[in-house]
Amino acid sequence: MGLKGDQERFQQIMINLLRNALKFTNNGVIKVKIFYEKSESRISVWVVDTGKGIKKRDQEGIFDMFGKKERTAKQNSEGLGLGLTICKLLVEQYNGEI
């Protein structure tokens, strides 16, 4: 049994995650790690960056619709804050988790 999925949705998720990492990593590194778990026919994707991070109190709402926090809105005036929400909805549509 091979890995099946929607290539367009996967690309959309990756673009959203990478754009988010790029917006908030002024200096440093962004890494993408992809693991294929053959026994479960699934992949795990990690996007890791050295950006400023998210305050503990703001972490809970990062996947909420229009979940921009005040600090984030000041740093990034582009977009509506939907990128991570879209990622979460798409990943969960395929029984995944983010």
Burial of 16 (0-12, 13-18, 19+ CB in 10 A): buried
Domain ranges of the chain: 7-93
**What topology is assigned to 7-93 in CATH?**
Heat Shock Protein 90 (3.30.565)
pTM of the model: 0.76
pLDDT digits (tens, 9 = 90+) for 13-69: 999 999 989 988 989 999 999 999 989 888 999 999 998 888 888 788 888 876 555
Tokens standing for residue 26: 């002024």
Compute the distance between CA of residue 84 and CA of residue 54 in angstroms, rounded to an integer.
13
CA-CA distance, 43 to 36, in Å (whole number)? 4
Cα–Cα distance measured from residue 96 to residue 75, given in angstroms and rounded to the nearest whole number: 30
Is residue 75's pLDDT more than 60?
no
